Amino acid sequence: MHSNWLSARRVPGRGLRDSNDLAWRATALASGGRIADNPSPTGVRQPHGGGARTPARGKVDEGSGPHSRARVAPARGSRDRVRHVRLDAAVSGDRYRRRRRGRLGIVLRMTRGRGGARRPLLLLPVLALCIGVFAPAWGADGVYRRALGNDPATLDPARVSDIYSRSVAQQLFDGLVHFDHTLTVTPALAQHWKSSRDGLLWTFTLRRNAKFHNGREVTADDVVYSLTRLVDPRTRSAAADLFLNVKGAPEFREGRAKTIPGFAALDRHTVQVTLTEALVPFVAVLAVGHAKIVPREVVEEKGDAFGTAPVGTGPFRFVKWERGRELVLAANPDYFDGAPRVARLVYRVFPGEPFDTMYEEFQRGHLEDTPPPNRDYRKAVAAAGDGYVKRPMLSVRFYGFNMRVKPLGDRLVRQALIHAIDREAIIEEAFLGRHILSRGILPPGTQGYNPKVSGYAYDPRRARELLAQAGYPAGRGLPTLAIWAAARNDGVLREHDLIKDNVKAVGVRAEFHYLTDWPAFLRLLSEGRLPIFMYAWYADVPDPDNFLFKLFHSQSSRNFTGYANQRVDGLLARARTEPDTTRRVELYRRAEQAILEDAPILPMWHYSYERIFQPYVRSVEVSGLGDPYIPLRKVWLVK
């Protein structure tokens, strides 16, 4: 059953803040009338909902003078309660609506569809799901077991490059700020911050109760070291380009300077960041999974081994990692925002993402949550009832064409292959219609998303014409295409069978290769050794820059296709610093259209986050950024 919630906190002087501030959604939102409290029956502070004390949010100043804005939230220990207010997508007409309360205490907004059938109203990706926030039961400490589709490549936050690494590292580390489940930027290690009116000078004041897992206090020097290390070319961070507008960062990255003057520790608890040009939105960049704060002495002592036994500040600390089997984290009792409500997190590794095997383990009671299975998908979802969660994600799944390899350097060949593949049939036949067909690159809910983009239609006749124009009539002379994938499960195998049939119909032969060792797959990909590759990109930041610049700018480390277009580079560079939203959207739309015409990738679909939870799981918050950004410290179990 679908349920989409946005949990909003009442902030003095501002009323209820909706998520339009950061998400730029086209659909209007109107607040619902029900406010629900859930006081703890034991009197113990709850991690989320009802009688929970609001986390220390401090004061956020944005500029100065008569037009500046300030947000002051309740201090820890205040009597102000966290409240959950439903925001429903506005719909036209006089549709019949009613509320329905599910097993987990979630209130669903129902609408009447054609024929009078009731259906849940699906909201946009910025909305969040809060499981069990109304549940009166209060759980004891325990072990939360999760399925991980592959081993992480690393747990070093500056070097994470995949969803597996990010999902675990997010629980181990904190940045200056982070996204809450409404995609609002909120305080983490920084208790409050302010910026100059021109957006070039940012000052962050650190909280004084934050410690690394080795017991040492977090200081401003740690922040300067961590952000400098992220930009250092020796770190090979995928997020380094996000910080090249910091004063002195380009010179440091090119080896012409030994420090970055734009990162400065003013005192033990104050950090200042100076930009050469305003990056939109800079404070959101600091919430990315790479910009976490690490202890210098531990990183320098361990070197590359830091990624296999990390020390952070997060709500969980590292315990052990048995590759191919499990990764264990333990609750951090000294966490600045309160100890987690589960004693341990155990990530069980299932190489190749075998969802059916994961679901079987879930049914045996060996996992607290799981992706739905490919086999008997609808039966499993129906059986889960209100324990089934589905919501759109800011993501794109695609096949990348290595343009440095013949014949994939020919745009006509790439366009022919795109026209040859029936993506809608694949979504329906291999995945039972679970995914959202991708017309372009940007997912719905992202600033700059253009609903008028039509993309490439399934058109075998046009595919044959393009192949003939490229010098391969009926596919003659075209070598067998090697397509590589890191996932191997029933759905993916069915998808690949359909693709082989599709391209065979236009005279093209394809063969699939599987490498379910994710670090090894990523290494081959980074070395440019994979001609065609299956890949999924999940947003770090709810912003179009995180898709278009990351995947297609010629200087981006995540540009695995070798795509280079000077016009596109210019549009993306201008969009990064354009303060006017309308002009910024137009720049991104022009860039996306140019990329689609050049066809460096075949966009397949946008994922929905789907999960089945055990009936005793409470207080799960999901945002459009998906699994990595679920704050598992808030989860509790009722057994």
Which of 50-54, 200-204, 207-211 is predicted least confidently?
50-54
* Confidence band for 478, pLDDT divided at 50, 70 and 90: very high
* Confidence band for 278, pLDDT divided at 50, 70 and 90: confident
Q: Residue 373 pLDDT more than 70?
A: yes
Longest dimension (CA), the chain: 75
CA 487 to chain CA centroid, Å, is 19
Q: Residue 58 pLDDT more than 50?
A: no
Determine if residue 45 is left, alpha or beta; phi over 0 gives left, psi from -120 to 50 gives alpha, anything else beta.
beta
pLDDT of 141: 58
* Confidence band for 281, pLDDT divided at 50, 70 and 90: confident
Percent pLDDT > 70 in the chain is 78
3-state helix, strand, coil split of the chain in percent (to 5) is 30, 25, 50
Which domains does the chain carry?
10-138 (no CATH), 175-301 (3.90.76.10), 395-606 (3.10.105.10)
Q: Residue 8 pLDDT more than 60?
A: no
Q: Give the predicted TM-score (pTM) of the model.
A: 0.72
Q: Which has more confidence, 234 or 279? A: 234
pLDDT of 579: 84
How far the first Cα of the chain sits from its last, in Å, is 23
pLDDT digits (tens, 9 = 90+) for 29-44: 222 222 222 333 223 3
pLDDT digits (tens, 9 = 90+) for 381-424: 999 999 999 989 999 999 999 999 999 999 999 999 999 999 99
The residue ranges of DSSP E strands in 275-378, in sequence order, are: 316-322, 326-331, 344-349, 369-370
CA–CA distance from 38 to each of 301, 339, 576 (Å)? 46, 20, 42
* Confidence band for 639, pLDDT divided at 50, 70 and 90: confident
Q: Residue 25 pLDDT more than 60?
A: no
pLDDT of 64: 39
pLDDT of 161: 85
Looking at residue 57, its amino acid is: R
pLDDT digits (tens, 9 = 90+) for 69-125: 333 333 333 333 332 222 222 223 333 333 333 333 332 333 333 344 443 333 333
* Confidence band for 204, pLDDT divided at 50, 70 and 90: very high
pLDDT digits (tens, 9 = 90+) for 577-630: 888 999 999 999 999 999 999 999 999 999 999 999 999 999 999 988 988 999
Q: Which has more confidence, 372 or 44? A: 372
pLDDT of 387: 93
Q: Residue 49 pLDDT more than 50?
A: no
